[in-house]
Structure 1
Amino acid sequence: MINDGERREAQTENVALVTGASRGVGRGIALGLLAAGFRVYGSGRSIEQADLPREIRRLRCDHLQDEETAAVFEAIRSECGSLDLLVNCAWGGYEKMVEGGAFTWAAPFWEQPPHRWTGMMDAGVRAAFVCSAHAARMMTPRHRGLIINISFWAAQRHLGNTIYGIAKAATDKMTSDMAVELRPFGIPVISLYPGLVRTESVLAAAKSGMFDLSTSESPEFIGRVVNALFHDPNLMARTGQVLVAAAVAKEFGVLDVDGSSPPALTLGDV
């Protein structure tokens, strides 16, 4: 139970919710925002077992279940009274890439298993839509807030499989249209593209030579970029746009945790 004193203290901080914070990019964003001074909430199906510091408030949630998503926002409203930043990172579809001994991830659309659509479109795009709707209800009365949707270059060219491209293109279109409707309230919405991120799965794949990590980014790097965007006084000029995280980092002088400056990938690079 949060007492009144703790609630007043929370209201002096910027409050952020990162969905899909149990692992990977979402976990890195949560860590980056915590280091930047945010009061961070992280949601996810396995968030209770996640390797996160105790300062991050864990809210167990399957974002396929609307009532569980609603409970996350109600908890933030009860404990803080407001929400300043939502980062939609919850995502499915990377599970079961190999099924029955076959690598189905890159299969043509007519051979794709139905669960991949559910993982990417429902646990990904739809979950971001529902979370953004809850966040907007908290942000619009205050005319304050920022929504960031984590997306990728698959929105702009074929990468991996058709469902992946559909999901990322839908995410970018959702960003664009939400920005139009939230503009009168001064609330920007951004699609943010990471580069090659050293997530748990990428590090495992790199051991087999699948990835060259020389230009990769730490998961925390994306959190640092999100923090820079949040504090950009001119961010409304870019609402509705797709931004490349490493390019934003160069603009604001943001470095990775090891002091490096990851290169900004282009469509040609991917």
Structure 2
Amino acid sequence: MKDVIALVTGASRGVGRGIALSLLAEAATVHVTGRTRSEAEASLGSKRAGSLEGLALEAAALPGRLVVHHCDHSNDAETERVAEEIRAANRLDILVNNAWPGYENMIEDGDFTWPRPFWEQPVWRWDAMIGTALRAAFMMSRAVAPTMISTQRGLIVNISFWAAQFYDGNAIYGMAKAAADKMAADFAHELRPHKVAAVALYPGLVRTEAVMQNAEYFDLSNSESPRFIGHVIAGLWRDPALMSKSGRVLVAAELGREYDIADVDGYRPVPLSAADFVKS
């Protein structure tokens, strides 16, 4: 993918970082956004491990080219600044909307607030998931779509999850993911005449830094590395039938089987289905 240019939002850590590293491993030029500049900054306050500085160090050994943009997507002006830098190059092939501050401050005053009913949810969580994450996906897509249209090829990926379809412990989370799916579907409808695809993509349980810090609470037997979904996105980009998948909700593990992609450890994740969530 040495001629491919991608943008991954929210790549300081977690899924976004893994996607960026996978695309770099496949020799793409990868622009990334993130709020956390350094590991020292990551250690302050409630921030979790992972930074743009750490990503750059890890990327140095990979064949692709990394371009780092410090960006807080809660500020539309910063999102637009990154988009303008992308537009200046007159080319963008892949946009991955991954920025997600919705898992921050899970414990407030000693109380784990995630599973509270919607009438007891802190309003900041709505602002983080809807006002920042969902808005950032729309604003960045809106800003770069004309560049993709001009080249008559492109792929917009909204990172989503099964909470869009079934209750998964938090009402705001479900609303945000359902909106991400609908956004991808409607983008796809309007972009189809321009040969630009848009999809919602579901990972499985990903071994992010936060998950591994709490590994005793998870069944990791069918989990995915953060890099797996990035290689799946590369496979999706190379798929000659990409436009036939546009507008759909796709499961990373199912695409992994279709494209014969194994995880970095050789494991081939088993796709989850709606039935897995209905049973739970």
Structure 1 counterpart of 2:244, from 237, 253, 257: 237
Give, in angstroms, the shift of residue 172 of structure 1: 0.5
Q: Paired residue for 1:257?
A: 264
Aligned pair 1:137/2:127, yes or no? no
Q: Distance in 1 between matches of 2:144 and 2:27?
A: 20
Structure 1 counterpart of 2:12, from 11, 22, 37: 22
Q: Paired residue for 1:106?
A: 115
Whether the aligned pair in 2 keeps the contact of 1:33 and 1:223 (CA below 8 Å) is yes
Whether the aligned pair in 1 keeps the contact of 2:69 and 2:82 (CA below 8 Å) is yes
Question: Structure 2: which amino acid aligns with 1:246?
Answer: A
Q: Paired residue for 1:65?
A: 75
Q: How many residues align?
A: 257
Give, in angstroms, the shift of residue 143 of structure 1: 0.9
SS in 1 for 2:20: helix
Give, in angstroms, the shift of residue 47 of structure 1: 4.6
Report % sequence identity: 54
Q: Paired residue for 2:202?
A: 193
Aligned pair 1:90/2:99, yes or no? yes
Q: Deviations over 1:97-136 (max 9, x none)?
A: 1111111001000000011001100221111000111120
- Greater shift after overlay, 161-170 or 12-21? 12-21
Give, in angstroms, the shift of residue 76 of structure 1: 2.1
Task: Tell me the C-alpha RMSD between the 2 structures.
Answer: 1.4
Give, in angstroms, the shift of residue 265 of structure 1: 0.8
Question: Structure 2: which amino acid aligns with 1:136?
Answer: A
Give, in angstroms, the shift of residue 269 of structure 1: 2.1
Give, in angstroms, the shift of residue 18 of structure 1: 0.1
TM-score of the pair, normalised by structure 1 = 0.92
Q: Deviations over 1:59-101 (max 9, x none)?
A: 00011111111111222233x3211100000012101111111
Q: Distance in 2 between matches of 1:232 and 1:121?
A: 31
TM-score of the pair, normalised by structure 2 = 0.89
Q: Paired residue for 2:275?
A: 268
